[in-house]
């Protein structure tokens, strides 16, 4: 059982009073989560006490920075059921997906090869494949959603697998909050000898993801949606896939030797971590993982699901409100997308903000999904571990007031 009051005490920003005097109620967790004090302290401690470049010098500060960077890699990879050598630091899930595109697919796919993605992907898992298609002539196939259930059309997915080389699927939709049947998708894809990339940016804050158990070839993860800092993430992949990859970026850190005749590169994950490492961010992510490990991720999911299901149930009672997705689905992970039939989404978001409620509005970097839903944008309330039913009750009251006054 989660002690929500104690959890909230770990997040100083939740005490924020907005300029209009309203208390902050943060419902934009699918965009980024807030950070516990231990993450803030860990990063501040680095800058205050041992700030130095890692893997560069032999002095005390450099040794401490290097140790902290690699200790964080051990913590994070262990949290996701992977070995440290199978984790490549990136700037986030977007760079991790681009690393697969430019580092693996560009070297292993060619004209006529097929990549399968879905309509519900974030742009980060669409645009790289479109660019690869222009450059290499690969075919990109899009699996549609069922507009009644908002789930992936698995019959269409099975058809799309025919002759495919790579499957790229989001673990959980950042718009609909729907968790895809990842285990089934991986099994079906592997049965067709496809490599598999799973975008876990939205799934990682809500369930325990295990790289070895899942059996995908690539997992893309961001820190900032799971209590960690912005600007860091990782790609988890196998030694076999790493050996098939070439560098995405080149420069310092990733080289063995540079001469006027050419360059040779380091092996393993080091080949892909060029330039100054994201040391403070890695330390912060390690602290976030350590903070999360005190909880059972099933308890986090159940708590968030309960709040989202309640929100959805009450919101559809409000005249003019339409919800996209099914927050009551047990696999849904805390995102409720909605629109009012006459109040513009931007206006609705501003009116909610006047009550202290921070929600997201726009296409959520998922325009093909917006097209499939037949709307240009939605509002989205997304919940996490520190949100409460009382906050949702206040949100419903304020939303009713807005709809009654401005509709």
Domains in the chain (CATH in brackets) are 4-28+296-406 (3.90.1150.10), 52-292 (3.40.640.10)
- Distance from C-alpha of 207 to C-alpha of 79, rounded to nearest angstrom: 11
Instruction: Say if residues 180 and 171 touch (Cβ distance below 8 Å).
Output: yes
| Largest separation between any pair of C-alpha atoms in the chain | 73
- Binned at pLDDT 50, 70 and 90, residue 278 comes out as very high
Burial (CB count within 10 angstroms: exposed 0-12, middle 13-18, buried 19+), residue 49: exposed
> For 203-212, what is each residue's pLDDT tens digit?
999 999 999 9
Helix (H) or strand (E) holding 213: helix 211-214
Buried b (16+ CB within 10 A) or exposed e, 98-125: bbbbbbbbbeebeeebbbbbbbbbbebb
* Ramachandran category for residue 14: left, alpha or beta (phi over 0 → left; psi -120 to 50 → alpha): alpha
Burial (CB count within 10 angstroms: exposed 0-12, middle 13-18, buried 19+), residue 78: middle
Residue 9's contacts (CB-CB under 8 Å, 6 or more residues apart) are none
- What's the rounded mean pLDDT across residues 70-92? 98
- What's the rounded mean pLDDT across residues 167-173? 98
> Which residue bears the tokens 């991790």?
96
The torsion angles phi and psi of 209, rounded to 5 degrees, stand at -100, 130
> Which residue bears the tokens 């790493």?
242
- What's the rounded mean pLDDT across residues 195-201? 98
> Which residue bears the tokens 């899942």?
214
Model pLDDT, residue 101: 98
- Distance from C-alpha of 181 to C-alpha of 158, rounded to nearest angstrom: 13
Q: What percent of the chain stands above pLDDT 90?
A: 95
Does pLDDT of 56 surpass 80? no
- Binned at pLDDT 50, 70 and 90, residue 57 comes out as confident
The torsion angles phi and psi of 314, rounded to 5 degrees, stand at -80, -35
Helix (H) or strand (E) holding 360: strand 360-362
Model pLDDT, residue 1: 84
Model pLDDT, residue 118: 98
- Distance from C-alpha of 385 to C-alpha of 305, rounded to nearest angstrom: 10
- What's the rounded mean pLDDT across residues 290-294? 98
- What's the rounded mean pLDDT across residues 160-187? 97
- Would you please indicate which residues are annotated as catalytic (active-site) residues? 365
* The pairing of beta strand 195-199 with beta strand 218-222: parallel
Buried b (16+ CB within 10 A) or exposed e, 188-225: bbeeeebbbbbbbbbbbbbbbbebeebebbbbbbbbbb
Q: Tell me what the pLDDT averaged over the chain comes to.
A: 97
Model pLDDT, residue 407: 82
Which of 145, 138, 146 is closest to 167 using CA atoms?
A: 138
Residue 334: CB atoms within 10 A of its CB come to 29
Identify the bridge partners of residue 128 per DSSP, sorted by sequence position: none
Model pLDDT, residue 55: 82
* The pairing of beta strand 25-26 with beta strand 357-358: parallel
- Distance from C-alpha of 118 to C-alpha of 313, rounded to nearest angstrom: 28
- What's the rounded mean pLDDT across residues 253-274? 92
> For 4-40, what is each residue's pLDDT tens digit?
999 999 999 999 999 999 999 999 999 999 999 999 9
> For 301-341, what is each residue's pLDDT tens digit?
999 999 999 999 999 999 999 999 999 999 998 999 999 99
């Amino acid at each position: 059982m989660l002690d929500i009051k104690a959890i909230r005490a770990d997040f100083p920003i939740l005490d924020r009073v907005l300029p209009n005097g309203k208390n902050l109620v943060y419902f934009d967790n699918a965009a980024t989560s807030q950070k516990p004090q231990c993450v803030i302290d860990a990063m501040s401690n680095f800058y205050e006490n041992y700030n130095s470049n890692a893997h560069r010098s032999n002095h005390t500060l450099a040794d401490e920075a290097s140790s902290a960077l690699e200790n964080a890699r051990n913590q994070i990879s262990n949290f996701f059921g992977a070995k440290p050598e199978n984790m490549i630091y990136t700037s986030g899930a977007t760079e991790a997906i681009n690393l697969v595109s430019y580092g693996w697919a560009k070297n292993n796919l060619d004209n006529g090869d097929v990549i399968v993605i879905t309509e519900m992907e974030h742009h980060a898992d669409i645009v790289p494949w479109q660019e690869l298609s222009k450059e290499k002539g690969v075919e990109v196939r899009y699996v549609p959603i069922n507009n009644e259930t908002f789930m992936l059309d698995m019959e269409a997915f099975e058809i799309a697998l025919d002759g495919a080389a790579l499957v790229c699927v989001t673990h959980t939709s950042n718009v609909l909050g729907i968790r895809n049947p990842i285990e089934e998708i991986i099994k079906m894809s592997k049965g067709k000898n496809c490599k598999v990339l799973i975008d876990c940016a939205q799934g990682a804050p809500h369930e325990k993801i295990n790289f070895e158990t899942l059996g995908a070839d690539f997992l893309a993860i961001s820190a900032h949606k799971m209590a960690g800092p912005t600007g860091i993430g990782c790609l988890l992949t196998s030694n076999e896939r790493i050996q098939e990859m070439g560098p995405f970026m080149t420069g310092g850190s990733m080289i063995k030797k540079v001469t006027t005749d050419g360059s040779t590169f380091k092996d393993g994950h080091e080949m892909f971590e060029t330039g100054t490492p994201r040391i403070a961010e890695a330390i912060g992510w390690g602290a976030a993982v350590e903070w999360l490990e005190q909880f059972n991720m099933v308890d986090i999911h159940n708590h968030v699901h309960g709040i989202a299901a309640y929100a959805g149930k009450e919101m559809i009672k409000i005249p003019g409100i339409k919800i996209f997705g099914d927050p009551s689905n047990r696999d849904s992970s805390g995102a409720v997308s909605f629109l009012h039939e006459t109040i513009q989404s931007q206006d609705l978001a501003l009116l909610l903000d006047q009550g202290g409620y921070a929600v997201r509005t726009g296409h959520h970097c998922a325009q093909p999904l917006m097209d499939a839903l037949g709307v240009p944008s939605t509002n989205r309330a997304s919940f996490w571990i520190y949100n409460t039913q009382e906050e949702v009750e206040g949100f419903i009251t304020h939303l009713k007031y807005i709809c009654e006054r401005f509709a």
